[in-house]
Structure 1
C-alpha cells in the first residue's frame, strides 16, 4: 500500500511540475505513429474489417502493457519510482488546465480571435464565429469530458491493477488504458475508413471508461461545494443527462460540471458547417463568462484530488 501511495503521489507531483511535454518523442506520440504503421500492415495482411482492427489492437496494446509490467516487476526497490513515471506519462491534468487557461486569458482581454484559436486546439466543433459565452461553454465541456479520458480513467486502472498485481499490475493497467484510449483517438471514427477497422478500438475504449466516468460524477459532486455548488444538484444533473450524448461516458462528466457550476452546457453545436442538435445539460445560467471557466478549472483540480482520495480509500479497503 505504501508503494501505491508513493507512486500515485510522485506521478501527480511530476505532472504538476513538468506537465505533459509536447514532443514528438513523447511515449503517447510515438505510440500514435506506431499505430499508423501497424494499421497499414494489418490492412495489407487481413483486410479492412473488424478482425484486422482487432489484430492491430492486440499487436499494439498487449506487448507494450506487458513491457510496462516487466520493467516495474524487475525494478526491485525502485518499483514505486518506475510505476510513478509510467503513471505520469498516462495522465495529463496540468495539460487540461493549461489549455483552459490559454482560452480564458485572451478571452478576458476580449481577444476573441486568440480565444477561438485556442479552443480549436482541443475541440472539433467550428469555432471561427463563436461568441464569448459559447467559447467558454466549449472549454468547460472539454474539461468535463477530458477529466475522464485524460486523468481519471488512468488513475482508476492504476488502482485496479495494483489490487490485481501490485505495482507491476498497476503500471501495466495504466499503460493499457492509455494505449487503448490513444487507439480510439487514431481509429475510433464512424466514417467509411474506420467503421469496421476501428470498431474494436472504439468499443473497448467505451468499455474501459465506463466505471471511471460514473465515479467522476461522484468526485465532481463531492468537490462541488468548493466552487459554490451543491452535491445533490450535481448528482441529479449528471445522472439526468447521462445518456444525452453519443458517447456512453462523456455526458457523465459534462453533466456533472453543469450541475456543480450551476450553469447550462450543451445545446446545438456546429461541426464542419453541419449543426448537431445536442440537448442542453443542466438548468442553470446560460450566459457564461470567464469567471465560470476559472471555476471550472478549480473544479477540475479539486475533482482530481477527490477522485484520488476515493481510490486510496477503495484500495485500502480491498487490500
Structure 2
C-alpha cells in the first residue's frame, strides 16, 4: 500500500500543491513547537545546561509524538476500510512534498525579475529565504531563489519522498517535524545557541543520506534537462562541504555546477553579516532564466527518485 500512497501523493502535490485554505500538518507542528518551547523554558533553569535539556526534550517529544499520532490515524483509517487507509496516507504524502509550492514561489520571483520590478522581486524572494532581502540586487535575488530551489529540492522533496517510501506518511511527516523544528529553533544566535542544538543535530542526521542522494540525482537531472552534468559532478565533489551545515551545500553545489554559475557567498541575516564561502565558478553571470532551469532540474530529479523508489518497492 505504501508504494501506491507515495505515487498518489506525488500526483496530488504535482497537481494541487499546498492550497492556502487547506490545513497543513506543518502549521500544527509549528504551533506545537512554540507551545513546547514556551512550557520548557518556563519550567527549566535559564542556564546553558537547562536550555540544552529543554532542547533535547523538544527534539524527542515532537518527532515521537508526530510518528505516534499519524501512525494511529493511518492504522485506524485502514482498520475501518483499506481504501480509507490508503486515502489518508496518500493525502498526507502529498502534503509532505513541496515540489509544486517551491516552483510556484520561485516562479513568482522570476516573474517580478523579468518585468522588471526589483522591489517586488525582493518581497517575493523573502517568502522563501531566511536572509535579509531589502538591499539585494537583481543578481542577489536571483541567486537566493536558485539556492532555495536547490536546497529545498533535498529537504522539501527528495528527503520526504525517501522517508515515505520507507515508512509511508507517518515517517515522512516525522521527518517534516524534524525539519520544521530545525527551521524554528536550530539557529546559532543568543536565543537558540543551546536550546536549538539538539534539533539542529537531529536535522543534520535525518538529512545526511537524503541530501547526498539528492545531489547525485541532481547530476543525473542536469543531463536529462540539457544542463552541464559533467560540471555538476565536478563542482559537487569540490564544493559540497562549503557550508556550515554538512548537508546544505550538497544540492547547491550540483546546481551551481550544472548552471555554470556561482552561488552562496556572504549574506545578511537579521541585520548581521555572515561571511559564507562561495559555491561553484562564475563561468557566466547568473540570470533570471536560471530559476526556471533549476525548477526543471528539481522536477526531473524528483521523478527519478519516485521511479527508482517505486521500482525498488516493486510497484513499477
Query: TM-score, normalised to structure 2's length?
Result: 0.91
Match of 1:122 among 125, 128, 133: 128
Provide the C-alpha distance between the structure 2 equivalents of 1:209 and 1:246, rounded to a whole number of angstroms.
14
Partner residue, 1:10: 8
CA 1:186–1:127: 2 relative to 1, 3 Å: closer
DSSP-derived class of the 1:209 partner: helix
C-alpha deviations, 1:263-305, integer Å up to 9, x for none? 2212232334444332221224341112211111111111111
Distance 1:115 1:226 in 2: 29
Q: Cα distance, 1:129 vs. partner? A: 2.8
Q: 1:174 aligns with which of 172, 175, 178?
A: 172
Deviation digits for residues 59-99 of structure 1 (CA, Å, limit 9, x no counterpart) = 32212211211222233312322211121221111111011
User: What is the rounded CA distance, in whole Å, between the counterparts of 2:272 and 2:59 in structure 1?
Assistant: 32
Q: Which residue of 1 aligns with 2:144?
A: 138
- CA deviation after TM superposition for structure 1 residue 101, in Å: 0.6
Question: What pairs up with 1:2-41 in 2 under 5 angstroms?
Answer: 3-22=1-20, 25-41=23-39
Q: Which residue of 1 aligns with 2:289?
A: 291
> Aligned partners of 2:233 and 2:75: how far apart in 1?
40
Number of the residue aligned with 1:164: none
Report the Cα offset of residue 193 of structure 1: 1.8
Counterpart secondary structure, 1:270? strand
**Is 258-267 or 93-102 further displaced after alignment?**
258-267
Q: Which residue of 1 aligns with 2:158?
A: 152
Q: Deviations over 1:121-170 (max 9, x none)?
A: 21122322322222111100011111111111111111222xxxxxxxx2
The aligned length equals 307
Equivalent residue, structure 1, for 2:65: 63
Q: TM-score of the superposition, structure 1-length normalised?
A: 0.90
Aligned 8 A contact 1:217 1:256 in 2: yes
SS at match of 2:73: helix
**1:238 offset after TM fit, Å?**
1.3
SS of 2:268's partner is: strand
Q: Deviations over 1:232-273 (max 9, x none)?
A: 321221121111001110100100111122222122323344
Superposition map of 1:109-258 within 5 A: 109-161=115-167, 170-258=168-256
User: Is residue 2:279 matched to residue 1:305?
Assistant: no
Q: Which runs of 5+ in 1 are unaligned?
A: 162-169
Q: Deviations over 1:190-216 (max 9, x none)?
A: 122222221111110111000010000
Asked whether the equivalents of residues 228 and 261 of structure 1 are also in contact (C-alpha less than 8 Å), the reply is: no
Q: Which runs of 5+ in 2 are unaligned?
A: none
